[in-house]
Amino acid sequence: MASEKQVAFKVALERTLPIFAGFLFLGIAYGMMMTGLGFAPWMPILMAILIDAGSMEFLVASMLLSTFNPFNVALMTLMVNGRHLFYGISLVGPYRQVGPKAAYMIYTLSDEVYSLLVTLPTPKGAAPDWYMFFVSMFIQGYWVFGTAAGALAGSLIHFDLPGIEYVMTALFVVLFVSQWREARSLGCWRLTRGRRAAVIGFGAALVARLIFGADNFMVPAMVLILVGLLGLRHWIEKGARVIESE
């Protein structure tokens, strides 16, 4: 009969495998982008292990090629990954019960880890602490593996891939389109909650781009988005109440 630790390992692997498919291609793109920008293959691999924040790693790539500005880096990191503060608050209870493994689990907490832990119950017959640990371990491992594959491929095979640095921009465009298509059955003219948040994000980025230029608009855009989401929170939530009433 399988032990609780073995059950936790097996179920964590099964539940995280779909994430592996996405992380593999995104990690390969990131690794190849970094080597294409002139970095040694070990650099993106080390960043994947130490930073463990995909969105921020793409942004760091461009920051490393420009004039170093500690304030901009710190502010950008807070704006991009500040949501993890709230992830951590909601997992304080479960993580207190895992012992020394908590340090690693806190370090590797990501969107995907959080989603799995809060939406799917701990499997029957599995040790909860080991299940949460293996989920974190597998998801980080997938990202590091994809990055390593891309970095090594980019260093050994010289691909002519102009524009690969656009991959992160493309990802955010897809996210924007997904938000806009939310609840499309209500009609394309309806501004649902997701669409209202998307409008604020797009508008803030556009205004910052026009005012500050292509090289300096990122941080102002993040600040404008934060101010817009907080200031127009009632308007955004109103979109959700309209849907619920229907």
Q: What is the residue whose two structure tokens read 């050994």?
A: 156
d(CA 132, CA 94): 9
DSSP category for residue 164? G
Q: H or E element: which one contains 170?
A: helix 167-180
Q: Which contacts qualify for 125-129: CB closer than 8 Å, 24 or more apart?
A: 125/2, 125/4, 125/7, 126/4, 126/7, 126/8, 126/11, 127/4, 127/5, 127/7, 127/8, 128/8, 128/94, 128/97, 128/98, 129/97, 129/98, 129/99, 129/101
Residue 221 tokens, joined: 């855009």
- Going from N- to C-terminal start, the domains of the chain cover 4-161, 187-245
Which among 204, 193, 188, 190 has a CA at the least distance from the CA of 234? 193
Q: Going residue by residue through the chain, which has 246 residues, state the pLDDT in tens, using 9 for 90 and above.
A: 468 999 999 999 999 998 898 889 889 988 988 888 889 999 999 999 998 888 788 888 878 877 777 887 787 788 778 778 878 888 988 899 899 999 999 999 998 898 889 888 888 889 999 999 999 999 999 999 999 999 998 888 776 666 666 666 676 677 677 666 655 544 544 556 567 777 888 888 889 889 988 777 877 887 888 888 788 777 767 655 544 444
For residues 43 and 155, give the distance between their C-alpha atoms in angstroms, rounded to a whole number.
Answer: 12
* Tokens (6 digits) for 245: 């009433």
Contact status, residue 144 vs residue 49, Cβ threshold 8 Å: yes
